Chains A and B, each alone.
Chain A
């Protein structure tokens, strides 16, 4: 048959399986140190400690508290202002405005996305508006907000809405669009339509994108808020964190400026790596929609 073969057929053979018991345990549990180093929170914690040590050493070497206070001094100021200073009330004021703006932004994003999903004109409207306003820094709208709404919370809420709205609607809309056709057809197969179809099929199926939008929106909102407070927190009676930083700078309390920045970072970290991480672990990671 195999006339092309030069050396003819090779012999066949069958074998007894070799004894594999020499390998020892096929599965060996990792040692304590291997497991510890494998854990991301632990590695990140070590990183933070290293950074703090570097900061402390450099500041001591510089020894100029007016320009660059030490880590320990910053911590002490932070603790002092936290326990019996204005830090808590300032943070609370900021968070209140943030929640207000974020909530309103999400509600508007829901309206825009609904319009975009239900009609082609709505899609065009959302695409155009997003293309126009997404690259526009929210802070650039602050002067306009001050003219329209004056000094105070409405102006802050306005710029936060602007920073949240476009990022969230854009992500949610693209999430809805990328829901697989098969899944849509399955949903309709069960007789789902209208709001039930959106709530039971589209939203969970698009959840990874929606969550990404929420995260981006949150980060934009937090940044915008602190920046906006820095600009006109001065004349506001109950200022937020931005004003706390601004005030400290005016009085050349550099350690207090650092404490304010630290608070901004800590809150950012908390929301990002505790709240959003918990939501992710319970939803998209558990569902295998994100690794």
Chain B
């Protein structure tokens, strides 16, 4: 509750300086993404533009089939756009790199042959970003931030789903990436754990003000987690709207503003169906 208030105040404070927003970190310009399945060439997104500013909690929201995960993968460098450009700090993205740490939905993202601590240390060591005692210290402090200090020497298979997700988040955060890319990270968790993880993520953001890109198909999650929401339309994914959603927390779910924003997004997502209903 306190955190939510703090965030609301900050949002207000940020609101007063909205004329000079934080610098742009990631620029997506006219990006068309295509991938091949054995039978088809699928166009996932079509000429998508958006900017992610520093310290944004940038949510990509859309129904399944709008290419939101594909878009995140492209920012991760796992696929190149057939048209348009993706730039981070002005540099074109062409390959995966440790300056864009990904957190996936699946629990398999942790290396089962490494302990929790080794998992957090692994990317730091192989990418050469942090070394030796420094890396260890950072890993331990990242684990402390997600309340997993006690489990540092445990193997992932002994952890619950929520704890595995915390390790994945700690592992990504410890790298201090330019941007954190989260692909429906809480979708595989039960509702109570998901709510707790959302609160924790917001708590971490309150401390560190990292930039995060977050893919979800839940309107509620988008409003809660995000500070800026990009709404995509399906088949192929095109930008429908970009909205502000600062100042909402679990405490404000029953606030009328929350309901209004939710309704607005809902109408964007389902306008086709609404039109069909209106015609018939």
Chain A interface (Cβ < 8 Å from any Cβ of B): 180, 182-183, 185-186, 188-192, 196, 200-201, 204-205, 207, 283, 286-289
Chain B interface (Cβ < 8 Å from any Cβ of A): 73, 76, 78, 96-98, 100-102, 104, 106, 108-109, 111-113, 122-123, 126-127, 155-158
**Cβ contacts A to B, 9 pairs, < 8 Å:** A180-B108, A183-B109, A185-B76, A188-B78, A190-B122, A191-B98, A204-B113, A283-B113, A287-B113
Q: Are B102 and A189 in contact (CB under 8 A)?
A: yes
Q: Whose C-beta in chain A lies nearest to the C-beta of B73?
A: A185
Q: Are A189 and B98 in contact (CB under 8 A)?
A: yes
Cα separation A185 to B111 with both chains bound (whole Å): 12
Cα separation A109 to B125 with both chains bound (whole Å): 30
Cα separation A34 to B42 with both chains bound (whole Å): 61
Nearest chain A CB to B123's CB is how many angstroms away?
4
Q: Are A185 and B102 in contact (CB under 8 A)?
A: yes
Q: Which residues of B contact A189 (CB under 8 A)?
A: 76, 96-98, 100-102, 123
Cα separation A191 to B123 with both chains bound (whole Å): 9
Overall SS of chain A's interface: helix
Q: Which residues of B contact A205 (CB under 8 A)?
A: 111-113
- 17 more CB-based (< 8 A) A-B contacts, given A185-B96, A287-B155, A289-B113: A183-B111, A185-B73, A185-B78, A185-B109, A186-B109, A188-B78, A189-B96, A189-B97, A190-B126, A191-B97, A191-B126, A191-B127, A196-B126, A200-B126, A205-B112, A207-B113, A289-B157
Cα separation A283 to B112 with both chains bound (whole Å): 10
Q: Are B155 and A188 in contact (CB under 8 A)?
A: no
Q: Are A191 and B96 in contact (CB under 8 A)?
A: yes
Overall SS of chain B's interface: mixed
Q: Which residues of B contact A286 (CB under 8 A)?
A: 155
Q: Are A192 and B102 in contact (CB under 8 A)?
A: no
Nearest chain B CB to A288's CB is how many angstroms away?
3
Q: Which residues of B contact A201 (CB under 8 A)?
A: 111
Cα separation A287 to B156 with both chains bound (whole Å): 8
- In order of increasing CB-CB distance, the 6 nearest A-B pairs are A288-B157, A180-B108, A190-B123, A182-B106, A204-B113, A287-B112
Q: Which residues of A contact B102 (CB under 8 A)?
A: 185-186, 189
Q: Whose C-beta in chain B lies nearest to the C-beta of A289?
A: B112
Q: Which residues of A contact B156 (CB under 8 A)?
A: 288
Interface centre among A180, A190, A204, A283 (most CB of B within 10 A): A190
Q: Which residues of A contact B100 (CB under 8 A)?
A: 189
Q: Which residues of A contact B122 (CB under 8 A)?
A: 190
Nearest chain A CB to B156's CB is how many angstroms away?
7
Cα separation A288 to B114 with both chains bound (whole Å): 11
Nearest chain A CB to B157's CB is how many angstroms away?
3
Q: Are B109 and A182 in contact (CB under 8 A)?
A: yes
Q: Which residues of B contact A183 (CB under 8 A)?
A: 108-109, 111
Q: Whose C-beta in chain B lies nearest to the C-beta of A288?
A: B157
